[in-house]
Amino acid sequence: MAKLGTFAGVFIPTTLNVLSILLYLRYGFMLGQLGVVGMIGTLCVSYAVNLLTTLSISAISTNGTVRGGGTYYMISRSLGPEFGGSIGIVFYLGQVFNAAMNIAGFCEPLMFNFNSNNARMKPILPEGRWWEFAYSSILLLICTTLSAVGSNVFSNAGYILFCILAISVLSIMVSAVFRSSFYIPGTDLFYTGLNWSTFKENFLPNFTSGAAGSDIAPHKENFRHLFGIFFPSTAGIFAGASMSGQLKDPSRSIPKGTLWGLLTTFVVYFLVIIFMGASIPRQILYEDVQVLQTVALSKTIILLGELSTSLFSAIVGIVGAANVLAAVSKDRLLGDNGYFAKENASGPFRAIIMSFVICQITLFFDINQIAGLITMSFLLTFLITNLACFLLKISSAPNFRPLFRWFNWETAFAGAIASFVAMYICDGATATAAFGLEMFLFFLIHMFSPPKPWGDVSQTLIYHQVRKYLLRLRQDHVKFWRPQILLFVDEPRTCWNLILFCNALKKGSLYVLGHAVIIKREETDSDEWYKEINFQRNCWTKLRDLSKIKAFIQVLPAPSLVWGVRDIALSSGLGGMKPNIAILGFFETRNQYLRKKSHHTTFSQSDNSDSMATGTAATAATAKSNSSKDTILDVSPLPTDYCRTENPAKVTEWVEIIESLLKMRLDIAIAKGFPNLEIPRPVKKFPWSRDTNLHGTDLQKKYIDLWPIQMSAQVFDPTREMNVMTTNFDTYSLILQMGQILHSVHAWNRAYKLRVIVFVEFREDVVDESTRIKELLRSLRIRAHVIVLCLSELGLNSYNCIVRGAKDASGKIDRILSDVQWWKDCKIYREKAKRDTQSRNSDGFIKSSVAVSRQRSIQSQLQRPSHIMRRKSILNSQVAAGSLQIQTQMLPNADLIDSSADEDEDDEFTDEDYYNHNFDKTDADSIASDVDSRAASDSDFVPQENIKSKRDIFRIFRNRVMSVSESEYHDEVPPITISRATGKHTSTRPSRSGSRVSLTNSRRSMPMFSSDTIPTTTVNADCEDGVNPTISFSQTVSRHQSNENIKDGEAGIKSEQSSLLSKNESVTETAQYQATKTTSEDVLLGTHSRSSSKHRPAEKSKYYGITFNEVPAIAQHIILNEAMHSLSDDTAVIFSTLPLPLPGTGRRSDDSLAYVSELSVLCDQLPPILLMHSQSVTVTAAL
């Protein structure tokens, strides 16, 4: 098919399309209403809009290669498929309507000259509405046939019709000059010819009603209605652009041909208005709709002119519309298969037939109604075209360099505004409907259109705005805090639910998927590692798009896993948008032993693994072969299936990652059990159906449970002048905050209820705890169902066994605590107490000995010389006591200040100091007897012959207690702490011997959590700087802490021991549940009957010598695991507190394994659980 040049392909179509049938049918009517000045003004306004739009078209068309589709192609490649497709469809309809208007318009002069009653030329055609419809349909069929035969016929027909139209238009002006005055036959109307009086009469507007050609009679004409009719006569400037697919050089022909055509038609219209206004009296303009033919020298020439412009405008409309429809269909914007894009030798035949059908339907409407629809569609197209050029220009895109120079952003912006105003001048209601249609098509294409690789101006605008506002973004006020999540992932099949969960948890915030690729040293010599990084980044990006999550992808190379995680954490985000929460999957202990195993590993649902950058991964072949019921995610294939896999992480690496993230001041979350998570994705068959999960089955879970566990410590200034009780309020509030954020997500809110579960140990603390947690939730504006548990009355088997000394029937507790020295000692002395008639005294002796020895060790450190106990401010320090791991922002800065310490001699306590503690000989004999039975197998025990006094027994306990509090990880002595969980003094000072003591025993011998009531909530409304917290737990700062405090503590223990020895009551081994419910809380209690005691239970049996706060961390984990399991069995996800590893745990495998084992005990067989730790303030009470 031959290509067209500028004259035949652009200039002639534009000229013939602009000089429309309205010139012959409605110019006389509009001139009579608007007058000469009104017509010229309307012409100038219309052409101003046309000219500004033509400049924008010229700029876009000369900025690159233009293919078929004309305006649609240019807009879609500039503004994207949504804007391009929606305006392309609107413009397609506008061109079809324009073709229908020209065909329907030709029926008027046809019937005027050839009707059977009063024909001007020859009465041969029957009259009537359906006869006119038949004539229009025949003419439409002729035009469609000419459109389908190809560009050669179209070009040749264009030359002929253009010549006829040119002669016809010229005859209008010649008739005005040479036609003398006369009376119009059959009327009393007088034609004056060129006359100054006639020009003055027609100069000003004169609106009337009922004029020939009006469609709003009996209403009076107005400018808005007339402008809507006038504008389509000048709006054919896209006729040449619509032929872009048939042009030799569209970028050159479109600007040149359109501008010349616009100039030519403006001159023609201007001269026609002047000559008509100066020669035809207004009365004739009012009454004769065919006035040009009436006053013409040759009626036949005028009739041929009407025929030529109608035929050609119809052909151009059909061909141009078909090209646009074919281009839209070819791009498959609505998910179709490109049905209308298929072409034959003559063009898009199917699109031409579709245009014929729509045009045929349009013929049922009145010509003025059609003109109004054309006006809206063309003006809307003008608006979007100018907007596209404006956005391209202001976005400063380097590659927007159009060859056409006669434009700038001001002309494009002015064209867009003028088009918008013109739409509402014509008809506000129709303009609003047009915008509604545009928006509907926009969202329809957005929903069904697949992604397009075109690139559009929106990306440039987004880039420009993002860069601008990222520089201004400040995350410095807590009221605007939001969870910006960094999730470390490896194999998406094993952590798919976790990826989706974090996508919901982010709640419109930053979400980054981090993946580390381990690059060995020998791989850096080639460029293969770089190709691998790009390949994996592309795969993860495709996976993100497939899953429709809103996350950024961060894939980085690293020499080791730990450094990879560090690099990702440091480099993720930009400006004020940086991650503040790092989430990683739980370490599976089996990975420590299977790390060298073949990568061809299958992952089943029973694995219950949450893969991360440190977890196990499957190869592509394995993933594909196992994409069945044995795989975590039954989808095949995934883009990441073809990525290489990394070796499983070592346990030391996993723990070291946690320590590294802590040093980066990131909040941390550990996820376990998420393959079993129910993701609430509604799948509704009927409006009344219930929520269902991903697989369409009913959701089995009911709750989102928040288990914020209290951790607190008393921090001493090294000078012993003051101390402060600090808590883990940051972590406590973060758990509440994240639970509320997840519950605010619509799908999760509908599927699950939010519960806050806290616990105390004794009944008398329940009401106080309930009041305080409700006060905290009210201050945080969190609505949740509150449950307060009483551990001593829940009937937990683990609590009864560990704390009360009941028998472990299942043997589970003995298996878990088999290597914990505390449990070994506890079992020995409890067994001894059962046989000993003085067991109660013996039990108190053991308990008090440990307590006093720990207090004495702290007193020893308080009296240490200053050169050993170095000065160290606790401001911004990490409290890392052996018994409790807290990192908090809640320390009072103003009151804790370093001061000098006296350089006294280091006073060491002797055995006599311990001996002076008043115990009976019976106590010593009882302990010594048991020591004899353990001497052979336990090196920590002194042989019996060495136990000659109570001082020897004290020495045993002193050595054991002191050994677990010593560590070589710090060369400075940190602030001394008293754990609220234990009531004992602890310190992490260096070992004097310099020997390396494992952290495993230290950690396992110390408590971690506290069952005390939470402190009262303090709201400080004066702190509005966003730095100091506006809400926190109350803290007590005490000054002049001296040795008397410790002595008072010892006296209290003695008094307590005496009280215990004087009591003789039994404990019921089983507990019955009862629930005391209020509006927003459940208080779960047992049925024990005991006296009130604030700090100790009254029902002490002979085996009941300790509390939850005094048992080691791993024992606390066992108790809490059973409590969570009993209450959260029907829970979708649990949020709880993460115990941190001691500094340096990741340096040794046994310490790391011990830490992971403790976490495993806490999370064993629980629903999906997220353990969290915070190092920043995330909540506020400020407005």
696: left (phi over 0), alpha (psi -120 to 50) or beta: left
One-character DSSP codes across 1073-1131: -EEEE-SSEEEEE--------SSS-S---TT----GGGS-HHHHHHHHHHHHHHHSTTE
Distance of CA 652 to the CA centre of its chain: 33
How long a stretch of residues is the chain? Answer: 1183
Pick the residue with more confidence: 659 or 881? Answer: 659
CA dihedral 1127, 1132, 1137, 1138 (to 10 degrees): 120
CA distance 502 to 505: 5
Residue 655, pLDDT > 50, answer yes
Residue 1074: strand pairing partners: 1085
Cα separation, 375 vs 367, in Å, equals 12
- Taking the chain, what is the end-to-end CA distance rounded to the nearest angstrom? 71
With bands split at pLDDT 50, 70 and 90, how would you rate the model's confidence at 599?
very low
Q: What is the pLDDT of residues 288-311, one digit of tens each?
A: 888 898 899 998 999 899 888 888
- What are the beta bridge partners of residue 757? 787
> CA-to-CA distance for 159 and 1126, rounded, in angstroms?
90
Among 1015, 1033, 1013, which Cα is nearest to 1181's?
1033
At 13-31, the pLDDT tens digits run 888 888 888 888 888 999 9
- The pLDDT tens digits of the residues spanning 1122-1139 come to 999 988 888 999 999 999
Q: What per-residue confidence (pLDDT) applies to 426?
A: 82
Amino acid occupying residue 1176: S
Architecture of the domain delimited by 6-69+99-459: Up-down Bundle (1.20)
* Residue showing tokens 């006569």: 233
Confidence of residue 715 (pLDDT cuts 50, 70, 90): low
- Strand ranges (E), 835-898: 879-881, 884-886
Neighbours of 109 (CB within 10 A): 25
pLDDT in tens, 663-690: 999 999 999 999 888 888 754 444 444 4
Taking a C-beta distance cutoff of 8 angstroms, is the pair 1176, 580 a contact? Answer: yes
More confident residue, 901 or 249: 249
Dihedral (CA of 3, 54, 77, 375) sign: negative
Average pLDDT over residues 726-730: 78
pLDDT of residue 635: 63
Q: Give the whole-angstrom CA distance, residue 930 versus residue 191.
A: 136
Under DSSP, the state recorded for 560 is S
Given a cut of 90, is residue 570 above it in pLDDT? yes
pLDDT (0 to 100) of residue 735: 93
The residues with which 1075 forms a beta bridge, in sequence order, are 1084
pLDDT at 1001: 61
Q: Can you state the angle between helices 27-61 and 223-230, rounded to 10 degrees?
A: 60
Of 499, 483, 99, 43, give the one whose Cα is nearest residue 274: 43
Decide: 1136 and 1166 in contact? Cβ < 8 Å: no
| Mean pLDDT, range 571-575, rounded to an integer | 88
Domains 6-69+99-459 and 473-676 share a fold: no
Asked if 359 contacts 99 with a C-beta cutoff of 8 angstroms, the reply is yes
722-727/1037-1039 β-pairing: antiparallel
Q: Which residue has the higher pLDDT, 722 or 745?
A: 745
Closest CA to 283 of 294, 274, 270, 272: 294
Most confident of 177-191, 405-419, 705-719: 405-419
Domain boundaries, the chain: 6-69+99-459, 473-676, 702-1183
Task: Tell me the three state secondary structure of residue 669.
Answer: strand
How far is C-alpha 953 from the chain's CA centre? 63
How many angstroms from the chain centroid is the CA of residue 1148?
39
Place of tokens 């070291």: 656
pLDDT digits (tens, 9 = 90+) for 387-403: 888 988 887 777 788 88
pLDDT value of residue 415 = 94
Give pLDDT tens digits for 46-91.
Answer: 999 999 999 998 998 888 777 767 778 888 887 788 888 888 898 8
> pLDDT > 90: what percent of the chain?
25
pLDDT of residue 724: 55
What does the pLDDT look like over 619-650, one tens digit per residue? 222 233 333 333 355 666 888 888 888 888 89
Residue 4, helix vs strand vs coil: strand
What's the whole-model pTM score?
Answer: 0.65
With contact defined as beta carbons under 8 Å apart, do 62 and 251 qualify? yes
Q: What is the pLDDT of residues 837-856, one digit of tens each?
A: 454 444 454 444 444 434 44
Q: How sure is the predictor about 989, in pLDDT bands with cuts at 50, 70 and 90?
A: very low
- Pairing status of strand 753-760 against strand 884-886: unpaired
What's the average model confidence in pLDDT over 895-907? 39
Residue type at 353 in one-letter notation: I
Report the pLDDT value the prediction gives residue 956, as an integer from 0 to 100.
Answer: 47
Instruction: Look at the domain 473-676 and name its fold.
Output: Rossmann fold (3.40.50)
pLDDT number for residue 356: 92
What is the C-alpha to C-alpha distance for residues 674 and 494, in angstroms, rounded to an integer? 9
Query: Please, is 183 exposed, middle or buried when counting C-beta atoms within 10 Å of its C-beta (0-12, 13-18, 19+)?
Result: exposed
Determine the pLDDT at residue 917.
41
- Supply the pLDDT for residue 605: 33
Please state whether beta strands 985-986 and 976-979 pair in parallel, antiparallel, or not at all (unpaired). Answer: antiparallel
Lowest mean pLDDT among 157-161, 711-715, 755-759, 972-976: 972-976
- Residues 307-354 have pLDDT tens digits of 888 888 888 888 888 888 888 888 888 766 678 888 776 678 889 999
Tell me the average pLDDT of the chain. 74
Whole-angstrom Cα distance, residue 72 to residue 518?
A: 47
What is the spatial distance between Cα 538 and Cα 323, in angstroms, rounded to a whole number?
Answer: 35
| 1165: three-class secondary structure by DSSP | coil
Q: What is the mean pLDDT of residues 263-280?
A: 94
